[in-house]
Amino acid sequence: MKNFIKVLFITFLIQNNLIASELINKSHFFLEIESLNMVMRYKKLKNTDMDKNSEYKYQALPLDECNSIVKVRKNNILELFNVNICNKTFFKK
């Protein structure tokens, strides 16, 4: 009986730890994901003949809780975007 309770308790702890780490990761990377989504939508609207985004390489660098810089690289061309997810605005540097 004691072994069963120990196993049950350990599985409960493992499940709660995984759920907690998932929630922490979602909130931690929210700024990067939202800023990348904004820039990718812009690139897709700008280039209507573009079939896929695999030609572009994206990188988001967070500055604070609202602002980030997104780097977009295609071949040797680098574009920088200042993204503010709180105001839903961005501009090209």
Q: Tens digit of pLDDT for each residue in 60-87?
A: 999 988 899 999 998 888 999 999 998 9
Instruction: Say how far apart CA 67 and CA 85 lie, in whole Å.
Output: 7
Higher-pLDDT residue of 8, 24: 8
**Which domain, by its residues, includes 62?**
2-92
Q: What is the pLDDT of residue 11?
A: 64
- Considering only residues 62 and 44, tell me which one the structure prediction assigns the higher pLDDT: 62
What is the count of structural domains for the chain? 1
Q: Which residue has the higher pLDDT, 44 or 1?
A: 44
Alpha carbon dihedral 50, 52, 54, 60, in 10-degree steps, equals 80
Phi, psi dihedral angles at 80 (to 5 degrees): -115, 135
Predicted TM-score (pTM) of this structure:
0.65
